[in-house]
Amino acid sequence: MKMIINPDLSLNEIKESLRAALKEASEDSRHGLRFFSVATVNPENNTPESRMVVLRDFLPEWTLRFYTDFRSSKVAQIQNHPAISLLFWNMNERYQVRIEAESTIHYKDNISKSEWENVTGEAQKAYTSVLPPGKIISHPEEAGDRITQKNYFCVIDAKATRIKILQLKSTEQWAVKFLRDSDTDEWIGHWIVP
Ligand SMILES: Cc1cc2nc3c(=O)[nH]c(=O)nc-3n(C[C@H](O)[C@H](O)[C@H](O)COP(=O)(O)O)c2cc1C
């Protein structure tokens, strides 16, 4: 089995493998890191909320990009509290990745406009429904295909600040963490007890 961590690798090699894997996942819909959970804090009850999203891009400064509807609850939660937590499980290679990130919302700006070029056909419906995501309806068909001329497409960029990777391998496990030095933005890595 291919593994992202083993004791013969340097911390830098492990970090660079993760970088490559995240980039691949953003380009390959079948990659083990393609889908991940995003946890935000709901300020109404101070409770965490998580949901799955698709990794749409991975930018060189360790920024993970995903798309959403501007009206969805996650957007208001991110506006209120930009620190979010991302969780991946690569089932094929049996490793978990936990990322803490600072997020930025792009809505009706140059980034959202240029990313919208990648959203074609049926996929556009996810961001143009008449009724907002999460709204209570009396019948499932009410959500329907009703499309508005308005476009609620929104891009979230999550810049990683801390990373933890846990590799499982039959009876053994290995774990590492990486923190960003706040002055230089460079990653500092450590082996940790799994
Ligand atoms: C596999 C999978 C992938 C998903 N990808 C996205 C996505 O990329 N963007 C998104 O906004 N919602 C996505 N969803 C739906 C979200 O998980 C969530 O239900 C929705 O965005 C509303 O979340 P919120 O009300 O917490 O903001 C996905 C769901 C699943 C099951």
- Give residue 141's pLDDT: 83
Average confidence (pLDDT) over 36-57: 97
- CA-nearest residue, atom 3 of ligand 1: 53
Q: To the nearest whole percent, how much of the chain has pLDDT over 70?
A: 99
Q: How far is C-alpha 77 from the chain's CA centre?
A: 15
- For 127-138, the pLDDT digits (tens) are 888 888 888 888
Write down the residue that tokens 């089932």 correspond to: 91
| Residues shown for the chain | 194
Closest-lying ligand 1 atom to the alpha carbon of residue 134: 25
Judged against a pLDDT cut of 80, whether residue 189 lies above it is answered with yes
- Give residue 94's pLDDT: 97
| Distance, CA of 38 to CA of 29 (rounded, Å) | 18
Q: How far is the CA of 38 from the centre of ligand 1 (A)?
A: 9
Q: How far is the CA of 174 from the centre of ligand 1 (A)?
A: 31
Q: How far is the CA of 16 from the centre of ligand 1 (A)?
A: 28
User: Three-state DSSP class for 96?
Assistant: strand
| Distance, CA of 127 to CA of 169 (rounded, Å) | 40
Closest-lying ligand 1 atom to the alpha carbon of residue 73: 27
User: What mean pLDDT value characterizes the chain?
Assistant: 94
Closest-lying ligand 1 atom to the alpha carbon of residue 52: 17
The phi and psi torsions of 32 (rounded to 5 degrees) equal -65, -15
Top mutation candidate among 38, 44, 53 for ligand 1, by most atoms within 8 Å of CB = 53
Average confidence (pLDDT) over 41-56: 96
- Give residue 155's pLDDT: 98
Judged against a pLDDT cut of 80, whether residue 145 lies above it is answered with no
pTM score, two decimals? 0.96
| Distance, CA of 131 to CA of 30 (rounded, Å) | 31
- CA-nearest residue, atom 29 of ligand 1: 52
Average confidence (pLDDT) over 149-171: 94
